[in-house]
Amino acid sequence: MLDEVRLKLDTFPYRLYQPMPWLGLQGAARDRATASRFEAMLPVIERTASEDAVDVGCNLGWYVVSLAERGIQTIGIEESPPAYRSALLAVKRSGASNAGILAMRVTPETASLVPSVDAMLLLSVWHHFVRSFGLSGATDMLETVWSRTRRVLFFETGEDEMGIEFGLPAFLPDARTWLTGYLESTCERSEVLHLGLHDAFDAAARPCRRNLFAVVRAN
């Protein structure tokens, strides 16, 4: 019962970002869009024979539980108490015995604490790094997270739709080209694959599309 009360408080009055079938919650802002990213990532996870994963900025833990249900041991890292409390409950309710949630803010100081795994997810989080630590701090953090990645890093970020307060660079000549070059230069010895454009929304809840990348470690 305490779990239920806590969940009500933690999810009120905001609209959920990710779907939460394990908690019986419907109507997430990124409902279908969460699944479309996952469908694009799964073949790469299979091709790279990834056996474990970390989801940095896991929010409510949809990818954590979904990967765990496919036999991939997964840790979600999340800084927001309402989100990580709900994620913990989702893991528990799902019955997954191969998943966990780490309550931690990833910063230039703590990035090296991210567990080393085959597959790393960094979805819609890098722009928060840039906002908090500047482009140079975010790049250092991405380098560190890449050093913890044994096989593949999935990367997606807010692009031109984000407000000026995020301090993002000008994505010229376009976001796909800029981000491909950025990932190639930051993640050494990698091949950058484009996994399509996926639905997202801006700060004013207007729909937009974002690039999804797989950064695969070269042998």
Ligand X SMILES: C[S@@+](CC[C@H](N)C(=O)[O-])C[C@H]1O[C@@H](n2cnc3c(N)ncnc32)[C@H](O)[C@@H]1O
195 contact partners, CB below 8 Å, separation of at least 6? 37, 40, 41, 44, 154, 212, 213, 214
Residue 153 contacts ligand X per CB under 6 A: no
CA distance 69 to 79: 23
- Name the minimum Å distance from CB 218 to ligand X: 25
Residue closer to ligand X, measured from CB, 23 or 123: 123
Residue 83 contacts ligand X per CB under 6 A: yes
Among 87, 157, 91, 92, which Cα is nearest to 121's? 157
- Name the minimum Å distance from CB 2 to ligand X: 23
Tokens, residue 203: 């700060």
Residue 105 contacts ligand X per CB under 6 A: yes
Among 157, 159, 162, which Cα is nearest to 142's? 157
Residue from 128, 148, 150, 209 in contact with ligand X (CB under 6 A): 128
CA distance 178 to 174: 6
In the complex, residue closest to ligand X by CB:
57
Residue closer to ligand X, measured from CB, 151 or 210: 210
CA distance 56 to 126: 10
Residue 80 contacts ligand X per CB under 6 A: yes
Residue 11 contacts ligand X per CB under 6 A: no
- Name the minimum Å distance from CB 173 to ligand X: 26
Q: Name the H helices within the chain.
A: 2-11, 31-47, 62-69, 81-94, 126-147, 175-186
Residue 69 contacts ligand X per CB under 6 A: no
Q: Total binding residues for ligand X by CB under 6 A? A: 17
Question: Percentages helix, strand, coil for the chain, rounded to the nearest 5?
Answer: 40, 25, 30
Only segment of 40-48, 78-86, 177-185, 202-210 that touches ligand X (CB under 6 A): 78-86
Residues near ligand X, by CB under 6 A: 17-18, 30, 34, 57, 59, 77-80, 83, 105-106, 123-125, 128
